[in-house]
């Protein structure tokens, strides 16, 4: 059975909800096991045991959140050369843009030689004041649907042997 690993980090809830939406949709494929793991708990072994990945994180100061970056720092070299060619997708929660986090995640994926399986999903929260940045976040139904589509697409591709 193929495995889809979803690694996420979130301080205010948006990226977590994005990861869970993708995981819910991916869970509908009987030929794929889906694991949703917090970045702080994810390991190189998790990456090695999976056949595809979804990474979900907030953009903080035009870059990946620190906890997500720590995940990549801890796992990058232990899996280098062992996960080449595996598909991945990106989910980013951002206050205004998200492109900095997407570029950073794409560079990491390029170093691992992963294949992009879906266009990045960026959810803009429009949080621009300290109060709104710190406030808990929810997803609009259309944003949750975009994340679900990514999860379903990766799971279906794995289940059909496309990836």
- pLDDT tens string 142-151: 999 999 999 9
pLDDT score of 132 = 81
Q: Which domain holds residue 145?
A: 2-160
- Strands 87-94, 115-116: pairing is parallel
Give the mean pLDDT of 112-117. 97
DSSP run (H or E) holding 88:
strand 87-94
Number of domains in the chain: 1
Tell me the percentage of the chain whose pLDDT exceeds 70: 100
Q: What is the pTM of this model?
A: 0.95
User: Alpha-carbon distance 86 to 98, whole Å?
Assistant: 24
Give the mean pLDDT of 42-53. 98
Nearest to 38 by CA among 3, 62, 5: 5
pLDDT score of 127 = 80
CATH number for the domain including 132? 3.40.50.360
The dihedral built from the CA positions of residue 29, 30, 31 and 37, taken in this order, carries a sign that is positive
């Amino acid at each position: 059975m193929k495995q889809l690993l979803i690694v996420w980090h979130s301080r205010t809830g948006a990226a977590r909800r994005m990861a869970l939406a993708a995981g819910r949709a991916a869970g509908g494929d009987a030929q794929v096991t889906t694991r949703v793991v917090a970045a702080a708990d994810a390991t190189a072994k998790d990456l090695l045991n999976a056949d595809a990945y979804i990474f979900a994180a907030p953009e903080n100061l035009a870059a990946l959140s620190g906890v997500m970056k720590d995940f990549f720092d801890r796992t990058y070299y232990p899996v280098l050369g062992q996960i080449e060619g595996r598909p991945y997708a990106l989910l980013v929660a951002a206050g205004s843009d998200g492109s900095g986090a997407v570029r950073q995640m794409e560079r990491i994926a390029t170093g691992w030689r992963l294949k992009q399986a879906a266009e990045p999903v960026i959810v803009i929260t429009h949080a621009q004041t300290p109060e709104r940045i710190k406030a808990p976040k929810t997803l609009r139904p259309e944003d949750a649907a975009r994340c679900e589509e990514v999860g379903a697409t990766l799971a279906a591709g794995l289940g059909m042997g496309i990836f």
